[in-house]
A and B are shown apart, each in its own frame.
Chain A
Amino acid sequence: GQSLEQPSEVTAVEGAIVQINCTYQTSGFYGLSWYQQHDGGAPTFLSYNGLDGLEETGRFSSFLSRSDSYGYLLLQELQMKDSASYFCAVRGGSNDYKLSFGAGTTVTVRA
């Protein structure tokens, strides 16, 4: 089975940097994805790490360490619109055609 852990809530002010950690225990591992979901909305894909290291997409970056079974999503220059829930998700292997999601981290950005 798959087990993912991420903090339940994070609060920060506009302009700050937030790091959301995700640790996983899985029977297999192919890659780590991140999704954003605004309140009342649908999840949307943010980033994917298949290899160790940092992936940067604008103000958002995602990092993976396969040896530590750990990844994080870094939100920089926080804006009010970044207030949302963020989910990490694991694909268990190349023959695994589904994702297992963490419970999500609610990020609240304050003025």
Chain B
Amino acid sequence: NAGVTQTPKFRVLKTGQSMTLLCAQDMNHEYMYWYRQDPGMGLRLIHYSVGEGTTAKGEVPDGYNVSRLKKQNFLLGLESAAPSQTSVYFCASSAGTSVETQYFGPGTRLLVL
């Protein structure tokens, strides 16, 4: 099992450009999450999904959109990137019976110039 995978691993964008980050999990988990991590601020939840076709806002959703068309995939979109979105983005998944135990992907480092 690959667990949770993320693509790309690293990306540089110019302000105003758009991009999509892809997260895939092969553990048949119901729940999936997108976090951003900035120095000294821990993990902040952007959006999450409790099932195929459903999404919900987290703590810092502005400037991001998500979609979960298939159970195993969770996409994070930036429509118009801003320098404030420079961060490391982590995707995670968990079984529906165990929200407390989340499995994280390796992360995507995004630099917005």
Contact B59 A45, beta carbon cutoff 8 Å:
no
Known A-B contacts: A42-B104, A42-B106. Give 5 more (CB < 8 A).
A43-B104, A45-B100, A48-B100, A87-B42, A96-B99
Point out the residue from B42, B103, B105, B107 that lies within 8 Å of A45, measured CB to CB.
Answer: B103
Chain B residue contacts of A43, Cβ below 8 A: 43, 90, 92, 102, 104
Within the complex, the shortest CB–CB distance from A86 to chain B, in Å, comes to 11
Contact A98 B43, beta carbon cutoff 8 Å:
no
Asked whether A83 is an interface residue with its Cβ less than 8 Å from the other chain, the reply is no
Contact B107 A42, beta carbon cutoff 8 Å:
yes
Chain B 91-110, CB-CB to A under 8 Å as 1, else 0, gives: 01000000111111111000
Contact A103 B40, beta carbon cutoff 8 Å:
yes
Chain B 25-53, CB-CB to A under 8 Å as 1, else 0, gives: 00000010101000011111100101000
Contact B104 A44, beta carbon cutoff 8 Å:
yes
Within the complex, the shortest CB–CB distance from B45 to chain A, in Å, comes to 6
Contact B101 A45, beta carbon cutoff 8 Å:
yes
Chain B interface size band reads 20 to 34
**Of A43, A87, A102, A104, most B-chain CB atoms within 10 Å:** A43
Within the complex, the shortest CB–CB distance from A32 to chain B, in Å, comes to 8
- Roughly how many angstroms separate A33 CA and B45 CA in the complex, as a whole number? 16
Contact A101 B43, beta carbon cutoff 8 Å:
yes
Asked whether A54 is an interface residue with its Cβ less than 8 Å from the other chain, the reply is no
- Roughly how many angstroms separate A48 CA and B98 CA in the complex, as a whole number? 10
Can you list 25 contacts pairing A with B, beta carbon distance less than 8 Å? A8-B40, A33-B100, A35-B102, A41-B106, A42-B104, A42-B105, A43-B43, A43-B90, A43-B102, A44-B104, A45-B100, A48-B101, A50-B100, A87-B42, A87-B43, A89-B43, A89-B100, A91-B99, A97-B48, A97-B99, A99-B102, A100-B45, A101-B42, A101-B44, A103-B40
User: Would A42 and B90 be within 8 Å (CB), given that A91-B100, A98-B58, A99-B100 are in contact?
Assistant: yes
Point out the residue from B40, B41, B99, B101 that lies within 8 Å of A98, measured CB to CB.
Answer: B99
